Amino acid sequence: MRIDIVTLFPDVALAPLSDSIIQRARAAGIAEVEAHQLRDWSEDKWRRVDDTLCGGGQGMLLQPGPLFAAVEALKREGTRVILMTPQGRPFKQAVARELAACSHLLILCGHYEGVDHRVVEALVDDEISIGDYVLTNGAIAAAVVCDAVIRLLPGALGDERSSEEESFMVPDRLEAPAYTRPVEFRGMKVPDVLLSGHHSKIRAWKEEMAVERTRRNRPDLME
Ligand code: ADE
């Protein structure tokens, strides 16, 4: 898969993708990621890319010209153009899976008050939000999406099973609590059942704990 990110802060977008599992996936050629400076497509000599809001209002908006030029330069056959914005559809594991099936993602990052709406109307296939809060910078959201997508690509995780068994892959259920050694730590013990070697009992315990944890932390998933 190839991913192009267009942003005012390429280093911010790439920093979380330059270490550990994602870096290894990039080095192995599983995902090719490049971040581009939006100002390179600026139309004026001061490399400006933003302007004030038509009709008044606080803040600045990214102008359409540089974003149109960037998409025209980077888009190819089969590209999915994504805009990171708090106004987008919620990013979920199912969306990550959907994007992991694409051959090329072109991710546009908003900044300031967002982007001129003609960009959304004419260029964007998918507006995506990573949550109900406002970040200073869409590059952070782009990195989150890239991480979640790249780790799903075949070969990105050493053990193929590990992305299949975790939370949200099973519909609507969080993962059960997990423990490692030591068996006793500061007076707190690993539950006996996990040390019993009794696989059907362990499975039943995990199921019960998963339901309990989901009820406590994500009651919305149980509705
Ligand atoms: N840009 C600013 N906040 C964002 C969010 N929550 N999701 C995606 N892009 C954003």
pLDDT tens digits in sequence order for the chain, 223 residues long: 999 999 999 999 999 999 999 999 999 999 999 999 999 999 999 999 999 999 999 999 999 999 999 999 999 999 999 999 999 999 999 999 999 999 999 999 998 789 999 999 999 999 999 999 999 999 999 999 999 999 999 999 986 556 666 766 566 899 999 999 999 999 999 999 999 999 999 999 999 999 999 999 999 999 8
Using the Cα atoms of residue 112, residue 117, residue 123 and residue 127 in order, give the sign of their dihedral: positive
Tokens representing 35 are: 């971040």
CA distance to 69, 73, 134, 139, 148, per residue, from 111 (Å): 17, 21, 10, 9, 22
Task: Pick the closest to residue 7 from 146, 125, 132 (CA basis).
Answer: 146
Q: Domain spans of the chain?
A: 2-150, 170-222
Ligand 1 pocket, residue 133 CB under 6 Å: yes
Closest CA to 98 of 214, 1, 32, 199: 1
Ligand 1 neighbour 131 (Cβ under 6 A): yes
Which one of 3.40.1790.10, 3.40.50.300, 3.40.1280.10, 3.40.309.10 gives the CATH number of domain 2-150?
3.40.1280.10
pLDDT of residue 158: 82
SS3 207: helix
- Quick one: which atom of ligand 1 is closest to the CA of 85? 9
In ligand 1, the atom with minimum distance to the C-alpha of 128 is 8
Hey, which of 61, 130, 144 would you mutate to test ligand 1's pocket, going by the most ligand atoms within 8 Å of its Cβ? 130
Cα–Cα separations (whole angstroms), residue 18 to 27, 140, 171? 10, 14, 31
Q: Phi/psi class of residue 66: alpha, beta or left (left: φ > 0; alpha: ψ in -120 to 50)? A: alpha
**How many angstroms does the Cα of residue 110 sit away from the middle of ligand 1?**
8
Residue 45 to residue 195: CA distance in whole angstroms: 68
Burial class (CB in 10 A: 0-12, 13-18, 19+), 40: middle
pLDDT at 113: 86
138-150 and 20-27 helices, crossing angle to 10°: 70
User: CATH classification of 170-222 is 1.10.1270.20, yes or no?
Assistant: yes
**What pLDDT does residue 172 have?**
80
Question: Strand pairing of 188-189 and 184-185?
Answer: antiparallel
Cα distances from 39 to residues 77, 115, 146, in angstroms, run 25, 14, 22
Centroid of ligand 1 to alpha carbon of 114 (angstroms): 9
Instruction: State residue 144's pLDDT score.
Output: 98
Q: Structure pTM?
A: 0.94
